[in-house]
Amino acid sequence: MLNKNIQTFIGCDCDYNDARIVLFGAPFDSTTSFRPGTRFASQSMRSESFGIETYSPYQDEDLTDIKVFDSGDLELPFGIPEQALLDIEERTQTILDDGKLPCMIGGEHLVTLGAVRAAAKKYDDLHVVQFDAHADLRNDYLGVKLSHACVMRRCHDLLGDGKIFQFGIRSGERDEFIFAKEHTFMNRFDLGNVSKSVQNIGQAPVYFTLDLDVLDPSEFPGTGTPEAGGVSFIALLDAIKEVSKLNIVGFDINELSPVYDTSGRSTALACKILREILILVSHKD
Amino acid sequence: MLNKNIQTFIGCDCDYNDARIVLFGAPFDSTTSFRPGTRFASQSMRSESFGIETYSPYQDEDLTDIKVFDSGDLELPFGIPEQALLDIEERTQTILDDGKLPCMIGGEHLVTLGAVRAAAKKYDDLHVVQFDAHADLRNDYLGVKLSHACVMRRCHDLLGDGKIFQFGIRSGERDEFIFAKEHTFMNRFDLGNVSKSVQNIGQAPVYFTLDLDVLDPSEFPGTGTPEAGGVSFIALLDAIKEVSKLNIVGFDINELSPVYDTSGRSTALACKILREILILVSHKD
Amino acid sequence: MLNKNIQTFIGCDCDYNDARIVLFGAPFDSTTSFRPGTRFASQSMRSESFGIETYSPYQDEDLTDIKVFDSGDLELPFGIPEQALLDIEERTQTILDDGKLPCMIGGEHLVTLGAVRAAAKKYDDLHVVQFDAHADLRNDYLGVKLSHACVMRRCHDLLGDGKIFQFGIRSGERDEFIFAKEHTFMNRFDLGNVSKSVQNIGQAPVYFTLDLDVLDPSEFPGTGTPEAGGVSFIALLDAIKEVSKLNIVGFDINELSPVYDTSGRSTALACKILREILILVSHKD
Amino acid sequence: MLNKNIQTFIGCDCDYNDARIVLFGAPFDSTTSFRPGTRFASQSMRSESFGIETYSPYQDEDLTDIKVFDSGDLELPFGIPEQALLDIEERTQTILDDGKLPCMIGGEHLVTLGAVRAAAKKYDDLHVVQFDAHADLRNDYLGVKLSHACVMRRCHDLLGDGKIFQFGIRSGERDEFIFAKEHTFMNRFDLGNVSKSVQNIGQAPVYFTLDLDVLDPSEFPGTGTPEAGGVSFIALLDAIKEVSKLNIVGFDINELSPVYDTSGRSTALACKILREILILVSHKD
Amino acid sequence: MLNKNIQTFIGCDCDYNDARIVLFGAPFDSTTSFRPGTRFASQSMRSESFGIETYSPYQDEDLTDIKVFDSGDLELPFGIPEQALLDIEERTQTILDDGKLPCMIGGEHLVTLGAVRAAAKKYDDLHVVQFDAHADLRNDYLGVKLSHACVMRRCHDLLGDGKIFQFGIRSGERDEFIFAKEHTFMNRFDLGNVSKSVQNIGQAPVYFTLDLDVLDPSEFPGTGTPEAGGVSFIALLDAIKEVSKLNIVGFDINELSPVYDTSGRSTALACKILREILILVSHKD
Amino acid sequence: MLNKNIQTFIGCDCDYNDARIVLFGAPFDSTTSFRPGTRFASQSMRSESFGIETYSPYQDEDLTDIKVFDSGDLELPFGIPEQALLDIEERTQTILDDGKLPCMIGGEHLVTLGAVRAAAKKYDDLHVVQFDAHADLRNDYLGVKLSHACVMRRCHDLLGDGKIFQFGIRSGERDEFIFAKEHTFMNRFDLGNVSKSVQNIGQAPVYFTLDLDVLDPSEFPGTGTPEAGGVSFIALLDAIKEVSKLNIVGFDINELSPVYDTSGRSTALACKILREILILVSHKD
C-alpha cells in the first residue's frame, strides 16, 4: 500500500512526542506596507530545503541527529491581523505547554507578536533578542497599530523597558531611534555587541526573532524591503552561535519573500541558517 | 521657474472643476488570499499609460477631448479593510457630491464595496454590473467577511436580490453558484448576454465593476488568480460598449497585478481598456 | 497533539484503500534536449492547486466527491533513463494490480513509456491516445533511443501498428510524419477528429497521454519547447470529454515546466485540466 | 584539426555563391521610444532556432532544401541613426547587386528604411507591404525624423502615394490615420484584405516588412510596445502565404525584443515564421 | 476640491524658490552599447523611494529638513544625442543661474556631458570627480564620439589635463588606461585615495558624477554592464562623505537600469545613496 | 562576398595551428539533481563576452595578445552520461595530442571526468586542483555513479590517494568529509591554503577544475545549487594566480547556469574570470 505524501523541512521528520523542537509556518503578510510576498516563505523553504544537505560542516553535526517535528502551516485569515495573532499565540502555547521549543517560520514580522504573547504568558521575565535591518518601533503605521512596522513597539508594550535587544538596525524614522535610546538596547548597523549582551541577559528566558533582512541584500535579496549595508552570512552565523548560548524558549525566522529572488539563493540561505539554528539550539539540552 | 512633477494617467490632465470624470487609485490588497500585488496597479498604469496613444482607432476619438481629472492614489491602511473601505467610500462620495463620475483603479476587488456603498447612498435603485472570472459570492473566506472573495455577497447584503448582473464567471465554490441562481443574474463563461441585460436594466443607475481577470490569462496574465477559459480583449471591448449605454454612475477596474507579467502587456491592456471606457462613458453626457 | 504536514493535490485526500484513482509524480527530465525543468511540475501543481477551486462549473461536479489518493513523487535517478522507467513501471503496476487507475504527473514525455509498459503487460490490446504538439516518433535523438523525442516510437515498438492515435501534432522531422502515415493515426494541427477516433477505438483499453504543449503557447507558455499554432483550453476540454468516454486504464499529464512562466498561469491551467480529467474519468465507473 | 564555430539560423548554411536568399541581422534600437531591446533579436533567433525543426508540416517542405546564407550581424553605431541606415543600405545593395534576396532581421522598425532605400534604387516602382500594429506614419517624434515611429512616413517620402499597403494597424495618433486615408492603403485591425491587395499590386516589385507586433501580445509578448487586439499566428501565416505570391525583392522581420518574454515563445514563434517565409519566398523562383 | 497627483522623490517637496537643490531626471540611453534600460531609472527611483525612510541613521539627519525641489524628467529625443545634451545643458544652466545646485538622475553616463558643459560655462576652473567601474575615456566607440563610453574623454576635451579625478576604475581598453596616465588622475579598483584627492582639489569648483556601477554587482546588479570586483555600499558612503567636503557645484547619479534587478534592491540602494548625498551636500551651506 | 558568421569567445579567434589554448563547450546537465540549466553556459558566455573588454587591468595584458582557438560546442547526448563523457574525452585527447592546452566550459561538474580521463592517459602523475562549494565525493547519488555529486570520487577512483586538492568546500554529506580526511587534501570554506599546496604539488602535471559555485552566491547567483558563505571574485582571482604557477595541462570552468541570474552578472563574471585564466595560463609558456 502506498504512503501519503508527507512534506517537511529536510530532516525534520521525527514523531511529535519525541520532538524537542516543533516547527510551524505562519504565512501572513496582510500588513506589509511596501511589497508583500512573505506568505510564501514557509512552503518555499520546505520545498527548497532538499537542495541543501542535512550535515553542517560549520558544526560537524547533522540535522538528522536532532529531533524536530514539522507541523505544517497555520491557515491564517488574510486581512484580520488580530485573529491571525490569536491563532499563532494558540499554536505557540500548545507547543510550549507540551514542553517543546516552538520555531516559527514567518510571514511578515508582525507574526512574532503572537509567539511573544504566548511566551510572555509562560515566562515572567521574557527578553527578546531581535536581529533586523529595521527598528519596527513605530507606535502606528498610517494609523495601524498591528503592523509589521510596529511589532517591537507592541512587544515593548507587553514586556516593558530593558527587555528588548536589537541588532543590525539601519533603518527607521527618527522617532524610533529616539524611542530606542530610552526603552530598548539598540545596536545599530551590525552585530558587534551580541556577545556582550548575551552576558548581560544571563539566564533570563529569551525569545529570539530573526528578521532575515538584517543580512545584506546582496546575500539575501528575497525580502520586501531590502536595506543596503547589512551583515554577511558568516557574521550572522557567528552571532547566532552567541545567541544560542542563551536560555532560548522560542524563536522565529521571518521576512523571506521568495518571489523577489529569481536565483533562489535567498530561500537556500534561509534554509541553511535554519539548519544551523536548529542544531545550535538543540545543543542546549 | 521650473514646474512640479505632476503625474496623471495619459491625457487626464484637465482641472478638477472642469472634469466630468475623476480618477483615483485604491492600492489595497490585504485580503488577497492567493498572490498579492494589485496594490501596484494604479501607479503602474499611470507610468505605462505613456506607452499607448490617446487616440482610439476603435472609436475614432481622442482621450484628450474628454475631460478627466486624475486625483492620484488614496493612502490606505494595510491590514484594516474596514478603514480602507471607509476611505474609499469618502472619496467616492466627494466626487459624486460634486456631480462627477468616479472612476476607481483597484486594488483587489474588495475595494469595489467602498465605492458601491457611496453610490448606494446617493442612488436608491442602484444596480451593479460585474465582469469577472470569479463569482465573489462567498459569505466568508476563512472566517473573513470583508474579503475579495466575498465582495459581491457584501454588495448583495446592501442592494438585495435582482440588482447584481454577473458575466464571465467561471470559478467559485458550488455554494456560490447555488446562491447566484436565487439572488443574482449570473452569466457563466462569457459575455454573451450583456446586451439583453442592458435592455432589462433600462435607465436604473448602474455601478460597473470590471475585474480584469475576466479576460483570458493568455491576454492578461498579470493577475493574482489567473483562470483559463476567459474572454478576449475584442469581446470585452464589445461588451463594454454595450454597458456604456447604461446610466453609469460610477465604475472601477481592478485586479491588475503588474508583477506577475514581465512582458508588461497586462498593464498596457489595462491602460487601453481604461482609455476606451473613459471615452465611451463620456459619450453619455 | 499536532498533525504531520500532508501535502496533496487539492481535494485528493481520500485513503488509499477507498481510492478509485491514484496520483503520483514522475519528476524526471534528463533527456530533455532543449530546455529542462519539467521535474518541478508535480511539486508545483500540488502547491498551486490551492489557488483553484475543487468545484467545476463546466461539469457541475466537485473534486471532493471523487475518490483520489495522492501518493507523492517517485524519487527518480537523474541521468539513468532506463532505471527511471523501471521505477515508473513498478509504481504503475502496483496501482493497476490494486484495481485502481494510475494518474501520473510528468516530467518530460519519456516518463509515459514506463506507464505504458505496465499497462501493456496487463491489457493485451492496449491503445494509446496522445495529445501533443510534437510527433515524438524519432527512432533516436543524437543516438539516444530513450529520449522524450522518441517516446511514441518506443510505444509503437511495444504496441505495433494502428494502436497509437495522435492529435494536435504540428512539429517534427519529415521522417516522423512519413512514419506516422504508415504506422499511427496522426491528426495534425488540431483536435478535430477526436470524436471519430473515439468511435473507432470502441471498448479497447486506452492509455491517455496529454502533453500539455498541445495547447497554444499563449495559454500555456510554461513548457520547454513552445510551438505556436496550438489549441485553446476550451477546445482541449471538449476533446478530453470525448476521450473520457473511452475505456481509460491509465493516463498522464506531462511537459509542464513551471519556471518558464513567471505568471503562474501554466501551472494553474494544468491544475484546472487535471481537476476536469479526474472528474470526467471517475464518471466512467 | 578542429573547426571554427560557425553560427547560423537553423538550416541556413549553404555557400554564399549558391544562395538564393541572404540573411543578415540589424541589431539597432537607439530610437526606440518606450522599451528598448530589439538589438538582441537576431542573436537570440539564431541561438533559439535550434529548438524548432527545419521541416514545415504546414507546407510539407524542409528548410534544408532551400538555399540560404546567413551573413551574421552588422555592427551598427548606437546613437547615430543616419550612419546605421547607411550601413544597412550598403549591405542590402550588395546582396541585391549579387542577384540575391536580402532578408533582414531587426532591430527596431527604423532599420527597414535602410533596406527600402537600397531596394528603391534598384527597382523603380517599388511597393511596400507592411504588417504592423502601429501606423509608423508620424512626421516626427519629439522632433526626431529618423524614428521607428516615423519609418513608414520616411518610406512615403521616398516612394510617394499609393505604394504603401498597411495591414493590422490598431494604434497611432489621429493624424497618422488621417494621413493614411490620403496617402497609403491602410487596413485596420486585421489582415482581412491582403489577398485583394495582392491582386492590385500585381507584378510590381515589393519590399515586405513584418513588424511582429502585428501579432496579438498573447502569442507574441516579446516586443517593446505590445498592443492588444492583434492577429493570431495562423492568420499571419495565411496572410504571408498570400504576400509570397507577389514579386518580393526583399523582406524583413523586426521588433522582437526577447528580454520581455521569459518563456522564450516569442523568439520561437519568430523563428517559426521566418522558416515559413524563407520556404514560401523560395518557391517563387 | 481634490488635489493633483504630484510625484517627487521622497521628502523633496519644497517650493522651487525655497529650494537649495533641484532634482531632475535625464531618461536617455540611446548610445548604450550593451544592454539599454537606464531611461527608466528616474521614474523608478521616485516610485520606489517611498520604500525607504527620509531619516538617515548614518548622519542622524532627515531629508525632510533639507530643501529640495524635484522638477521631474526632461523629455529627451531618443536617437539624437546632441539635442539631448543641449536640453540637459539648458536645464542645468537654469538651475545654476537661479543659484541652486543641480542634481541629475541619469540615464546613461553620456548625460553627464550636458551638465558639465553648463557648469564649465559658469565656473572657470571646473574639476570633475568620477566614481565609476569604467574609464569612459575612449575617443570614439564604433565611430561614435557622443557615446557613454567616451563621456570622460569629451569632458577632458572641454576641461583639459589634470581636472578629472577617477576612482574605482576596473574596466576599459588598454588605450584608455594609457590616456589616463597622462591626462587624468585615475585610481584603479577602489576608492582608496579619495581623501587625498579631496585635499589636492581644495576649493576649486567640482562636478561630482557617480556611475553606480562602481558598486560591486552583488550589491548593485541593476546596471547594463556589471563589473565584478567593485566597492561596497559602506565604502561608497564613506567616500561620498569625503567628496561632500569639496565645493560641489553640481552632481549626478547614473547608470541604474532597474529592469535587470528583479529584487528591486538596486533601485532601493540608489535611493538610499541619493538621500545620503542630498543631506551631505546640503550641509555645506 | 560576405563572410560566414563565426562566433567565438571574445578575442579567441586565432587559427587552430597557431593556438596555444583550445576552448570547447560541453553543454551537458543530465545528472543535475536540483536545478538544471548549465547546458546554456558556453553559448551564453560567448554571446555575453562582448560586454567585457579584452584588456585586463589586473594584469595589464590583453586577451588579443594570447593565442586561443574556440572550437565551439560538443553535441552531447542528453540522458547518456557515459557517451557524453567519451565524447569529451575524445575532444580533450585530440587537443592534448596536438600539443595544446584544452580549456572546457561546462556544463555540470560531471563533464570534468571526461577531460581528466584524457589527461590521466597522457600524464602519469596527474593531480587535480578543485575549487568548489561542494565536495562531490559521494560514491553514488540515488544509485547513480556518474553524477555531478560524485565526480571527484570518480576522479579519485582513477588517480588514487593524495592527488586531489580541494578548496572552498562548504557543503556535502558527513561521509564525504570523512572520505576527504583519508583520501584527498580538503580545505574547507575558503581558498586560504592554495599557495602552500602549490608548493607541495611542485612540477607535477595538474588539471585545474573551477566550479564557479565556490564564489559567494551574492557575486555569482547563476548556478544550480547556491551555497552561502563563499569566496569573493578578488579572492578567487588571487588564488587562480597562485594555481597558474603550476604545470597546468588542462582546465575547465563549470556550473554556470545563466537562467537563474536575470541580471546577467554571473555570466559576465564567468567571462571575466575566463579572460584572466587564459592570460595567466598563457604566461607559463
The predicted structure's pLDDT at residue E284: 59
How sure is the predictor about F164, in pLDDT bands with cuts at 50, 70 and 90?
A: very high
Does any domain span residue C267? yes
Cβ-based neighbours of B13, under 8 Å, separated by 6 or more: B6, B69, B70
Note the helical H segments in chain D: 41-48, 81-97, 111-122, 151-159, 174-183, 194-201, 233-243, 265-282
Query: Residue C112: inside a domain, yes or no?
Result: yes
Does residue E9 lie within any of the structural domains?
A: no
pLDDT confidence of residue D4? 87
Nearest CA in chain F to D264: F259
Q: Is A73 a member of any domain?
A: yes
Which of F28, F29, F30 to mutate: most C Cβ within 10 Å?
F30
C268 touches chain B (CB under 8 A): yes
Which chains pack against C, by 3+ Cβ pairs within 8 A? A, B, D, F
Place of cell 508540416: D57
In this complex, do B263 and D221 lie within 8 Å of one another by their Cβ atoms? yes
Stretch (H or E) spanning E56 = strand E55-56
Predicted confidence at residue B242, as pLDDT, reads 97
Q: Which residues of chain E have pLDDT under 70?
A: 284-285
The pLDDT, as a whole number, for residue F4 is: 87
Q: Report the chain A residue with the minimal C-alpha distance to residue E238.
A: A229
Residues 6+ apart with CB under 8 A from C175: C138
pLDDT at C33: 82
Contacts of A73 in chain C (CB under 8 A): 5
C-alpha count within 13 angstroms, C-beta hemisphere, residue B135: 29
With cut-offs at 50, 70 and 90, classify the pLDDT of residue C1. Answer: confident
**Regions in chain B scoring below 50 on pLDDT:** none
Residues whose CB falls within 8 Å of the CB of residue D85, separated by 6 or more in sequence, listed in order: D110, D111, D113, D114, D117, D146
Q: A285, A282, A277, A284: which is closest to A58 by C-alpha? A: A277
Task: Report pLDDT for A156.
Answer: 98
**Residue B132 cell numbers, joined:** 469577472
Residue A4 has pLDDT above 90, yes or no: no
CA dist., res. F146 & res. B244, Å (int): 66
Residue A44, min C-alpha distance to chain B (Å) = 14
SS3 D242: helix
Give residue F205's pLDDT band: very low, low, confident or very high (50, 70, 90). very high
Q: Does residue E64 belong to any structural domain of this protein?
A: yes
The CATH number for C204's domain is: 3.40.800.10
Q: What is the mean pLDDT of chain C?
A: 95
* Tens digit of each residue's pLDDT (9 = 90 or more) over A256-266: 999 899 899 99
Residue A7: CA count within 13 A, CB half-sphere: 24
Among candidates F98, F115, F205, which has minimal Cα distance to F154? F115
Q: Following DSSP, what letter does each residue of chain C receive, concatenated?
A: -PPP-B--STT-B--TTT-SEEEEEE---TT-SS---GGGHHHHHHHHGGGS-SEETTTTEEGGGS-EEEEEE----TT-HHHHHHHHHHHHHHHHHTT-EEEEEESSTTHHHHHHHHHHHH-TT-EEEEE-SB----S-BTTBSSSGGGHHHHHHHHH-TT-EEEEEE-B--HHHHHHHHHHSEEEESS-TTHHHHHHHHTTSEEEEEEEGGGB-TTT---SSS--SS-B-HHHHHHHHHHHTTSEEEEEEEE---GGG-TT-HHHHHHHHHHHHHHHHHHHT-
Residue A213 belongs to domain spanning: 16-281
Q: What is the pLDDT of residues D109-148, one digit of tens each?
A: 999 999 999 999 999 999 999 999 999 999 999 889 999 9
Measure CB to CB from residue C188 to each of D52, D53, D57 and give the nearest one.
Answer: D57
Q: What is the DSSP letter of E146?
A: S
Q: Which of A115, A73, A140, A88 is nearest to A209 (CA)?
A: A115
D130 in a domain, yes or no?
yes
With left for phi above 0 and alpha for psi between -120 and 50, is residue A168 left, alpha or beta?
left
Answer whether B217 sits within 8 Å of C219, measured CB to CB.
yes
Q: What angle is formed at CA A76 by the lines to CA A75 and CA A81, rounded to 5 degrees?
A: 170
Global confidence as pTM:
0.96
How far apart are the C-alpha atoms of A216 and A219, rounded to whole Å? Answer: 6
| CB–CB contact B172 C51 (8 Å) | no
F226 with A57: Cβ contact below 8 A = no
- Total number of domains constituting chain D: 1
Whether residue A14 contacts residue A8, with contact meaning beta carbons closer than 8 Å, is answered with: no
> How far, in Å, are B15, D153, D179 from residue D162 at the CA level?
43, 13, 12
Residue with cell 503520483: C24
Shortest CA distance from F74: residue in chain C: C142
Our CA-based measurement puts residue E99 at a distance from the nearest CA of chain A, in whole angstroms, of 31
- What confidence score (pLDDT) does residue E34 get? 80
Which ipTM did the prediction report? 0.94
Is C35–D264 a contact, with Cβ atoms under 8 angstroms apart? Answer: yes
Distance to chain C for F78, nearest Cα, Å: 5
Q: Does D226 touch chain B (CB under 8 A)?
A: yes
In a domain, C5, yes or no: no
Average pLDDT over residues A75-81: 91
C6 at interface of A, judged by CB pairs closer than 8 A: yes
Please name the member of B4, B47, B71 whose beta carbon is closest to the beta carbon of E2. Answer: B71
Give the nearest chain C residue to F37 (CA atoms): C36
The subunits that touch chain D, with at least 3 C-beta pairs less than 8 Å apart, are B, C, E, F
Chosen for mutation from A78, A146, A259, A261 (greatest number of chain B CBs closer than 10 Å) is A78
Over 80: is that where the pLDDT of A46 sits? yes
Assign D284 a pLDDT band (cuts: 50, 70, 90): low
Average pLDDT, chain F: 95
**Residues of chain C found within 8 Å of residue F154, distances taken between Cβ atoms:** none
- pLDDT at residue C32, as a whole number: 86
**Residue D173 CB burial class (10 angstroms; 0-12, 13-18, ≥19):** middle
* Partner D contacted by C171 (CB < 8 A): yes
Contact C105, C25 (CB under 8 A): yes
Q: Residues 83 to 102 of F: which have CB under 8 A from any D CB?
A: 94-95
pLDDT of residue B284: 59
Q: pLDDT grade, residue F207 (50/70/90)?
A: very high
| Chain E positions in Cβ-Cβ contact with residue A217 (cut-off 8 Å) | 219, 263, 265, 268-269
* C-alpha distance across the termini of chain C, in Å: 39
Evaluate whether D25 touches D105 at the Cβ level (below 8 Å): yes
Is D144–E37 a contact, with Cβ atoms under 8 angstroms apart? no
A224 within domain boundaries: yes
Touching B (3+ Cβ pairs <8 A), the chains are A, C, D, E
Contacts of C60 in chain B (CB under 8 A): 177
Contact A53 F172 (CB under 8 A): yes
Whether the pLDDT of residue A43 is over 70: the answer is yes
Strand partners, A211: A254
- What would the pLDDT profile of F181-196 be if each residue is shown by its tens digit? 999 999 999 999 999 9
Which DSSP category does D146 fall into? S
User: Using one digit for the tens of pLDDT, what is the confidence trace for B30-67?
Assistant: 988 888 899 999 999 999 999 999 999 999 999 999 99
- The rounded mean pLDDT for chain B is 95
Cis peptide before D106 (omega within 30 of 0): no
Q: What is the pLDDT of residue B3?
A: 85
How much is the average pLDDT of F74-80?
A: 91
pLDDT of E155 reads: 98
Give the pLDDT of residue E191.
97
> pLDDT averaged over chain A?
95
Which runs of E-coded beta strand occur in B121-267?
127-131, 164-169, 185-188, 205-211, 247-254
- C-beta atoms of F37 and C36 within 8 A: yes
Residues of chain B contacting D177 with CB distance shorter than 8 Å: 55, 57, 60
What pairing do the DSSP bridges indicate for beta strands D61-62 and D127-131?
A: unpaired
